[in-house]
Structure 1
Amino acid sequence: MSFSFFKPSRPKTPQDVAKAIRDSLAALDTKTVVEVKSLEKALEEVEKNFATMRCMILGDGEVEPNAEQVSQLAEEICKEDGISLLIHKLSILGWEARKDLVHCWSILLKQKVGPTYCCVQYIEEHFELLDFLVVCYDNKEIALTCGNMLRECIKFPTLAKYILESASLELFFKFVELPNFDVASDAFSTFKDLLTKHGNLVSEYLTAHYDEFFELYEKLLTSSNYVTRRQSLKLLSEFLLESPNSHIMKRYILEVRYLKVMMTLLKDSSKNIQISAFHIFKVFVANPNKPREIKIILAKNHEKLLQLLENLSTGKGAEDEQFEEEKELIMKEIERVARFTNLK
């Protein structure tokens, strides 16, 4: 007769894992933080629970994840207010726990209970969580984790719409110029997703907030930081020349102040910036309905503009041929405007 002193542990259910995550995160309160040893122990518990969550969501290399369990886990985490705790405790978590969270986050957001993405719905009911994630760009320790989580959120139209229309959007104009290059680059990636992932949403936003948005954007285009100028100019081309934003582009190319910005960028010391600026500048010039103010600026500066364009080249073979053709047409239009515009 054999005796077993150790009973095999019962496999944890999604409910068990969600509750364990909630309890261990809740233990990271201010009282615990005062006691370093207690905090270390609490963080170890969080890390252990996150590893269990990751194993349930992603599998362990030998056993594939169970789709039904993953869906149940997402639902239980929402029921336990785990999403809120996951976000609010980010700054206390260790590197390993944050890494596991990032691996799990996108999958949690994609889980459906019936027709509803339960975690997305939870965030829709607690939109302040998105504001919190944006503000976290100011904390370089967790900025990249928060940026990753934000980009996953932005894939869902309702969450992207909230950020676009919230006061948090204005913070990106500051974060993309933070002195920490990695954080600034990550913030720009998130900013780019906001302006390119959902064309119709962005079009509605720009229509309603045209003046304030482009006034802020002008500061990026005229920044003293080369990377900021180059990235923001490239991004402007991407979302301004998209079909849902054609009415925005038509409005943009009627404004003298933005023509002057492009003319300044045509003189930039960087060839890449000059080329990118040309692709927006040419739309101002090619516009058949140019207002008189635009024509006067082009006519007054036509000699300098022609000289600048004459020396501008991509140097990229077949691509350069198309560029040269476009450039020739634009130069002819500038000459035509200069001939027929009365400057008085």
Structure 2
Amino acid sequence: MAFKLLASFVSLLAALQVANGAATKKVTCASGQVTSNAACCALFPVIDDIQANMFDGGECNEDVHESLRLTFHDAIGISRKANKAGVFGGGGADGSIAIFADIETNFHANNGVDEIIDTQAPIIARHNLTTADFIQFAGAIGVSNCPGAPRLDVFLGRKDATQPAPDLTVPEPFDDVTKILARFDDAGKFSSDEVVALLVSHTIAAADHVDPTIPGTPFDSTPELFDTQFFIETQLQGTLFPGNGSNQGEVMSPLRGEIRLQSDFLLARDSRTACEWQSFVNNQYKLQSAFKAAFRKMTILGSKEHNLIDCSDVVPTPPAPASKAHLPAGLTRQDVQQACNKKAFPTLPTDPGPVTSVAPVPPS
């Protein structure tokens, strides 16, 4: 009896090993690169093209920032309520923002995305990818150039849009927190924690059009690094600009040369999001893992994941983190407007360097 049980166990173990081997089987592409699915081989030449011709050979540059922004502005163009009611509410990550650029770039919330759409267009034309797949893929590859970033998931198989997304599906920087959370819930049942996680993208972001008098103004002091400074610096003392003038959506920052969006300022201080916001302050691992999960969810809005091909293993491994959480020079804990009432703001060192202004992000 014992022998039969042992034999059964050995047979089961062998079967599991065979199954595991099948699951991890790799394909060697004609280029010599290895991936888990032959369909993903087509992506390696695309990586070479976009790294050379958009990202300056692998830099975390302005086109990286703009490519990541475009992934969101395309994907968030979907309304579950409208689609359920039989009124077209957008197809999510379907490439509509580029395919129908003459329409969607005129939406107020999409101001400025025409530049990265124009930059990506000739590269899309050189490769056999849908526009929907390319937009999300380019964003993920761009992020892989940024020190401290997670290795994002990528998929193939999205269908291109046949009509433009409706207006008013992209949140605006002057929206209040309730409106922002409702928009994300309608787009894809994003929780308040997932909304905060998606805004990790602002760690490498800059604004050209919120205040056109100061183009290339970053959202934190380290826009070339995928780090936690954004979540620290949005909690520093600040004042909302009054009225609806040219500064609408902008918040005064104590750091010269830095811009803060009103929406980020409010989310950092709202009881529904403040503690999650603070949780990223000195937690690089959580920053990476939360954004990776939220990006994965966002990037397939409008598609079923089981209908897509997972090509995540073609994404380069990002450089290691290159900074540690700190308060900017000249500032102390007293300069923090803490809103989380459940946990104290972490103790952080202050940058010993002289007080300087934050340099604008140079155009690509």
Q: The TM-score by the shorter chain falls in which range?
A: under 0.3
More strand by share: 2
- Decide which structure has the larger Cα Rg and report it: 1
Could you state the TM-score of these two structures normalised by the residue count of structure 2? Answer: 0.26
RCO greater where, 1 or 2, for CA within 8 Å and sep 6 or more? 2
TM-score, length basis structure 1: 0.27
Richer in helix (by share): 1
